[in-house]
C-alpha cells in the first residue's frame, strides 16, 4: 500500500470521530454545557493519564539531552512560526487592530495535540512516540503562553501559572520519575490504570472538536482573505519550513516522525480562546480554524507523504 493510502486510511477514523461529534451537536444530543464538561475532563484527567502512561518507562525519554531537544524543537518552531504568520497576515490585507495579531497567533500554532495523536499512532505504531510528542508539546506550550500571548495582547507580562496546567505537569512528573529511576514502581496495575484512564482521551477530544466546529460554523461568516491566507500559511508555507528544519538539523528519527505529523496539522482551536481573552479578533481565529481544518484533510496526505520521503522515515 502506498504512503498516501496509508495516510488516508489513518485519517478516516479521525474524520469519522469528528463527524460524530458534529452530528451530536447538530441534533442537540451533545449540548454546550455537556461539551464543556467533557473537554474539562479530557484536560484535567484523561490527557494527564495518557501522558504519564506514555512517558514513564519510555527509553527515548530517559536522556535529559534528548528531552531538551524534543521540547526545544517545539518551542523554537513556534518562535519562528508566530512572527512569520504575523508578518504574512499583512500580505492578505490584515493590519493591527483588524485581525493581524490574531491571524499570526492562530496560524502560527498548529493543532499540536488531539488531531495528531491518532495519526502518529497509525503511521508509526510501536515506536513509543506519544511520550516524545508530549515532551515536544511542552515547548510548544511554553512558546504559546509567552510569545503567543504577548503577540495577541501586546502585553509582555508572563506568569508560570499560564503554562503549568495538568497535561504539562504530567509531562514534568513523568520525566522526573524516569530521571530518578522510579519508573519500576509503575509496572503492572498502576500502569494499566493510567492506560485505562488515558484510552478514551483522544476519541472524546475529537468528538468535542467536531461539536465545536458546528458551533463555530453557525456563528461566523467567512472572510475569504482570512480563509485563503490561513490555508496557504498554515498548511503550505509553515509545513515546508518545519520539514526543511527536520531535514537539515541533526535530530533523531523519533523527533522527525513527530515533526512530519505536526507539520501537516491545521490551526489550533485554543487561540480562539486567547483571542477572546487577550483583545484579539475571535472571528478571525474561527475562520482560520474552520478553513484549515476542512482543507487539511486534502493537504495532510500530501504533506505527510512528501515529508516522510524527504526525511527518509
* Mean pLDDT over the full length of the chain: 86
Above pLDDT 70, what percent of the chain?
A: 93
Say yes or no to pLDDT of 86 above 80: yes
CA separation for the pair 115, 109 (Å, rounded): 13
Tell me what pLDDT residue 306 has. Answer: 94
Mean pLDDT of the 70-89 span: 94
**Terminal-to-terminal C-alpha distance of the chain:** 16
- The predicted-structure confidence for 265-287, as pLDDT tens digits, reads as follows 999 887 877 787 777 888 888 88
Cβ neighbours of residue 33 closer than 8 Å, sequence gap 6 or more: none
Tell me the CA distances in angstroms from 163 to 141, 174, 234, one per residue in order: 6, 17, 24
Tell me what pLDDT residue 219 has. Answer: 66
pLDDT bucket at 193, cuts 50 / 70 / 90: very high
Q: Which CATH fold would you assign to the domain 3-307?
A: Na+/H+ antiporter like fold (1.20.1530)
Tell me what pLDDT residue 109 has. Answer: 92
Report the run of H or E that residue 4 belongs to, with start and end.
helix 3-26
Among 135-139, 214-218, 225-229, the least confident range: 214-218
- The predicted-structure confidence for 237-262, as pLDDT tens digits, reads as follows 999 999 999 999 999 999 999 999 99
Among 186-195, 208-217, 263-272, the least confident range: 208-217
Q: Which range scores top for mean pLDDT: 28-32, 82-86, 137-141?
A: 82-86
Q: Count the residues in the chain.
A: 313
Cβ(269)–Cβ(287) under 8 Å? no
Say yes or no to pLDDT of 54 above 60: yes
Tell me what pLDDT residue 77 has. Answer: 95
Cβ(296)–Cβ(235) under 8 Å? yes
Domain boundaries, the chain: 3-307
Tell me what pLDDT residue 247 has. Answer: 96
CA separation for the pair 72, 94 (Å, rounded): 31
Tell me what pLDDT residue 157 has. Answer: 62
- The predicted-structure confidence for 136-151, as pLDDT tens digits, reads as follows 988 888 888 888 888 8
In the 8-state DSSP scheme, what is residue 252? -
Tell me what pLDDT residue 6 has. Answer: 75
Cβ(170)–Cβ(43) under 8 Å? no
Amino acid at each position: 500500500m502506498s504512503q498516501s493510502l496509508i495516510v488516508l486510511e489513518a485519517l478516516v477514523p479521525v474524520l469519522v470521530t469528528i463527524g460524530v461529534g458534529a452530528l451530536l451537536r447538530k441534533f442537540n444530543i451533545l449540548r454546550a454545557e455537556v461539551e464543556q464538561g467533557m473537554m474539562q475532563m479530557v484536560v484535567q484527567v484523561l490527557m494527564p493519564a495518557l501522558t504519564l502512561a506514555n512517558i514513564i518507562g519510555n527509553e527515548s525519554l530517559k536522556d535529559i539531552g534528548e528531552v531538551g531537544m524534543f521540547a526545544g524543537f517545539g518551542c523554537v518552531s513556534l518562535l519562528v512560526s508566530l512572527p512569520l504568520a504575523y508578518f504574512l497576515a499583512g500580505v492578505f490585507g490584515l493590519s493591527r487592530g483588524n485581525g493581524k495579531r490574531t491571524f499570526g497567533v492562530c496560524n502560527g500554532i498548529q493543532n499540536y495535540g488531539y488531531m495528531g495523536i491518532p495519526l502518529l499512532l497509525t503511521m508509526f505504531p510501536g515506536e513509543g512516540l506519544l511520550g516524545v510528542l508530549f515532551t515536544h508539546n511542552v515547548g510548544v506550550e511554553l512558546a504559546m503562553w509567552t510569545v503567543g500571548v504577548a503577540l495577541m495582547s501586546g502585553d509582555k507580562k508572563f506568569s508560570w501559572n499560564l503554562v503549568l496546567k495538568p497535561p504539562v505537569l504530567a509531562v514534568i512528573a513523568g520525566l522526573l520519575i524516569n530521571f530518578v529511576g522510579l519508573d519500576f514502581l509503575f509496572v503492572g496495575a498502576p500502569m494499566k490504570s493510567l492506560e485505562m484512564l488515558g484510552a478514551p482521551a483522544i476519541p472524546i477530544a475529537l468528538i468535542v472538536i467536531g461539536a465545536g466546529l458546528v458551533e463555530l460554523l453557525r456563528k461566523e461568516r467567512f472572510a475569504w482573505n482570512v480563509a485563503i491566507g490561513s490555508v496557504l500559511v498554515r498548511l503550505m508555507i509553515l509545513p515546508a519550513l518545519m520539514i526543511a528544519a527536520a531535514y537539515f538539523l541533526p535530530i533523531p528519527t523519533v523527533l522527525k516522525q513527530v515533526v512530519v505529523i505536526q507539520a501537516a496539522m491545521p490551526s489550533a482551536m485554543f487561540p480562539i480562546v486567547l483571542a477572546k481573552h487577550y483583545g484579539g479578533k475571535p472571528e478571525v481565529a474561527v475562520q482560520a480554524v474552520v478553513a484549515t481544518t476542512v482543507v487539511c484533510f486534502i493537504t495532510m496526505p500530501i504533506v505527510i507523504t512528501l515529508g516522510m520521503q524527504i526525511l527518509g522515515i
